[in-house]
Amino acid sequence: MKCTACKEKAVVSLPSHHAGFCEPCFLRFFTNQVEKGIRQHKLFTHNDKILVALSGGKDSLALMLELKALGYNITGLHIDLGIPNSSVQARSIVENFCQLHSLPLIIKELKDENLMIPFIKKRLNRPICSACGKIKRHFFNKIAIENGYDVLATGHNLDDEVARLTSNTLRWDKAYLSDQGPSLPAENGFSKKVKPLWRLSEFETANYAFLKKIDHHISTCPYSRGASFTKLKYFWFNLEEESPGRKIDFYQGFLERGRPAFQTDEQNTTKLTACTKCGYPTSVELCSICRIKELVNSEPNK
């Protein structure tokens, strides 16, 4: 196969774009998609201070490297979850990556809060991913707000977004369907959140990470069984194989025509107040972190 752009030998085939690219043209394609994604939804500008959540996986590291190449003002943020082996490896990969590319990095250790994931898992004795997600989102936001960042960027790709959209649709979850997208605006006490890789598939970010020789975290979290919409991603993998381009069409169609139908006035009526324990903004009496702390402290050790 020949490169669609320059007619040299192609190394990456992208049926969804009816294209194949050699290495330099693929990297240019990747950059164009990131820039287009930022522009289409006005994610941020070169004047913004951007905090990038770095898990140590290929997507977040690819995002960080690409935003650096595009000249944005970026700082990495890694949350050390305290999971044996997995967290040690993820942290060291992020630290080495930021050192190699001379990028500023903030590390937040959950052990400072007595919220290490294995500890909570043991106390709650139930699947932990939902609590883990809440804890991560809480500290991403808190650190962004307290340190004056304009926007918090995550490495979610098109596959992540389409799987989440399918899950929200299967439940007809109006609140999530009205909010889902590459950009969530800032509101009282909550930072603006963006997903600059929303136009790129997992296959494309994996190719980028490979060609850029990004050393990333691959050992799976011991609690990950059944997590991250695995079955929905598999469902979409098959659909895309049969009919390339369906994923991006579905997601763009949702943003243009589906989402507005869910954005009614009633959606904006959720009132935020200060958590009665810690003062963090919340729509109920206690914020999610204080509720997790209460649960952990109230349930007997199992």
One-letter identity of residue 175: A
**Contact stretch for ligand SF4 (CB under 6 A) within 217-225, 253-261, 269-277, 289-297:** 217-225
Q: How far is the CB of 154 from Zn ion (least distance, A)?
A: 23
Helix/strand/coil for 108: strand
The answer to whether residue 223 forms part of the interface with ligand SF4 (CB under 6 A) is yes
From CA 277, how far away is CA 239, in angstroms rounded? 47
Beta-bridge mates of residue 282? 273
**Contact stretch for ligand SF4 (CB under 6 A) within 125-133, 183-191, 265-273, 292-300:** 125-133
Report the partner that residue 278 touches, choosing among ligand SF4, Zn ion, none (CB closer than 5 to 8 A by kind). Zn ion
Binding site as annotated, residues for Zn(2+): 3, 6, 22, 25, 275, 278, 287, 290
121/195 with CB nearer ligand SF4: 121
Q: What is the DSSP letter of 270?
A: P
Report the partner that residue 223 touches, choosing among Zn ion, ligand SF4, none (CB closer than 5 to 8 A by kind). ligand SF4
54 neighbors 80 (Cβ within 8 angstroms): no
Q: What is the DSSP letter of 9?
A: B
Q: Site map for ligand SF4, 73-92, x if CB under 6 A?
A: --------x-----------
Q: How far is the CB of 137 from Zn ion (least distance, A)?
A: 13
Beta-bridge mates of residue 68? none
From CA 157, how far away is CA 197, in angstroms rounded? 5
Q: How far is the CB of 157 from ligand SF4 (least distance, A)?
A: 16
Q: How far is the CB of 108 from Zn ion (least distance, A)?
A: 17
CB neighbourhood size of 222 (10 A): 14
From CA 61, how far away is CA 94, in angstroms rounded? 8
28/123 with CB nearer ligand SF4: 123
Q: Where are the beta strands (DSSP E) in the chain?
A: 12-14, 19-21, 49-53, 73-80, 105-109, 151-153, 183-184, 192-194, 273-274, 281-282
The answer to whether residue 124 forms part of the interface with ligand SF4 (CB under 6 A) is no
The answer to whether residue 292 forms part of the interface with ligand SF4 (CB under 6 A) is no
Sheet holding 183-184, edge to edge: 105-109, 73-80, 49-53, 151-153, 192-194, 183-184
Q: How far is the CB of 269 from ligand SF4 (least distance, A)?
A: 30
Helix/strand/coil for 106: strand
Q: How many residues bind ligand SF4 (CB under 6 A)?
A: 10
Q: How far is the CB of 222 from ligand SF4 (least distance, A)?
A: 7
Beta-bridge mates of residue 183? 194
Residues in contact with ligand SF4 by CB under 6 A are 81, 117, 128-129, 132-133, 221, 223-224, 227
